Structure 1
Amino acid sequence: MTDVPTKSAAKRSAGQNAEKTKGEEYEKNITEHPTITSYLQSHLQYPTSQFQTPHKHDQIPQLHLYPTTKMGKSILLINGPNLNLLGTREPHIYGHTTLSDVESNSREVAASHGAVLESFQSNHEGAIVDRIQAARGKVDGIIINPGAYTHTSVAIRDALLGVAIPFIELHVSNVHAREPWRHHSYFSDKAAGIIVGLGVYGYKVAVEHVCVNFEEKEKEPKAAL
């Protein structure tokens, strides 16, 4: 005996088809919306044309219009005058590792902790001041090797204090074992920490220290209101 669909069953089926059609139209509108398409291009690095009509072998990334994870902490690494010569300048003091290697390795260490690191180097005091000021409200911590400006620059000191970003002072060589005039620093009394004489390995220590401190602060409970 053949079952005859009831009116209620037919009504449910029609409703399900309508919902499916509505869902397909919504998905189509979402992927073709100019604002969201722009978001996909800039954040997923996936061409719009490929996203709309993918090749069967393409792997389309999972779409999250509303990210559920917090962005990583931001660290600014600043190197002062002559540090662009790392690897070739007095290698018996500073070693053979280049600044490019230092910056690349530092970014990798930061990324391993879920942080983002930007690097900047200049031989000019004003440029360093400008970069520090530009970081205000955008950077969670600064690692700075001021180079020779360590012993002379009130301007860079004032810039660091002005943006109120905690910073670590770093030196590749042991400045206290060198000329007496290198023993004085305009930054040490305000630094959150000082790393001296560990060679370029000091950069790794500095990045990890900043990352770990940030992670610990995130775990602290909020104060009761």
Structure 2
Amino acid sequence: MNDRPRIAAEDGARPLRTRIQRRNRKTILDAALEVFSQYGFRGATLDQIAEVAGLSKPNLLYYFASKEAIHVTLLAGLMDLWLAPLRAMDPAGAPVEEILGYIRRKLELSRDYPRESRLFANEVLQGAPRIQDSITGELAELVAEKSALIRGWSAEGRLAEVDPHHLIFSIWATTQHYADFDVQVRGILKASPEETHDGAMAFLDHLYRGALTPKAADPR
């Protein structure tokens, strides 16, 4: 993807006055994403982040007051990236194709943003202390909205009867797996990222299309 969205929100601690400041801030956040995605919040240290960023620790602390400040900044921007594929599900579209489109977007997210996916997974595994409000707020509200949409499609006979919440959970599991367990996937398949992605999408399309397509009425 050429137009990679920024995942870092401004924390308001200091104004970004110069090009060098903007560059250093981005360098720190990119380094932190790498470190946090590998070690989680608890395992990561400011020294590790500074080393990966190629900056001194005092220089890093000029931009961010603490490890948690960096982590919160990353997570704040990540939620928008994470919710975008589900928000794009169109009520006016063909139900099966809309859900398959959501699956495709989620799989592309895992392919193009594996570190971000692992950052999110690590946060959730630790009890989501820094994004709990987002999970119980905007994420829960969006899932409720799309679940009602899916339930309505089923009631109209345009979609097979499915539990909307568990359908969405299943989609998360079958798409994010390719980012969160990337080492395992690569070790088993020994395939290129493109081959892995194409094979996964073909399988998931077949799996979910079969599960979601309404069964033809019994002619008897």
Larger Rg over CA atoms: 1
Higher strand share: 1
Higher helix share: 2
Q: TM-score, normalising length from structure 2?
A: 0.28
Q: TM-score, normalising length from structure 1?
A: 0.28
Relative CO higher for 1 or 2, CA cutoff 8 Å, sep ≥ 6? 2
